[in-house]
Amino acid sequence: MEKMEKKNTERKRLVGTRGRTFKGKVVKKFEKRIVVDLERTVKIKKYERFMKKKTRIHARILDGTDVHVGDVVKVRECRPLSKITHFMFVEKLSSENNTGDKK
């Protein structure tokens, strides 16, 4: 009986990932998801210049994951988990204390 319960809880937690992987900074944190800010450069052909664009991605985090606002994380694409959540948290690359920002 206990083995069945363990398998059911493991299946609920694990979601197969596929597709693209992104690195970004955590902007907001909720109970079961985080909002990651991605910054990329886009070339403007007419002006022969580059500009920075930002994209916000919502990613699901597992229970007990130690992620805070300001951390740099890696997220990976998966099946749609909700209306806005299509990514899973993979790993924490650095915390806000290790970024070396001067105040």
* pLDDT, tens digit, 9 for 90 and up, residues 16-33: 888 899 999 999 999 999
Q: What is the CATH number of domain 19-98?
A: 2.40.50.1000
CA dihedral 39, 23, 88, 68 (to 10 degrees): -90
pTM of the model: 0.74
> Looking at the predicted structure, is the pLDDT value of residue 101 above 80?
no
> How many CA atoms lie within 13 Å of 35's alpha carbon, on the beta-carbon side?
8
pLDDT in tens, 47-92: 999 999 999 999 999 988 899 999 999 999 999 999 999 999 999 9
Domain boundaries, the chain: 19-98
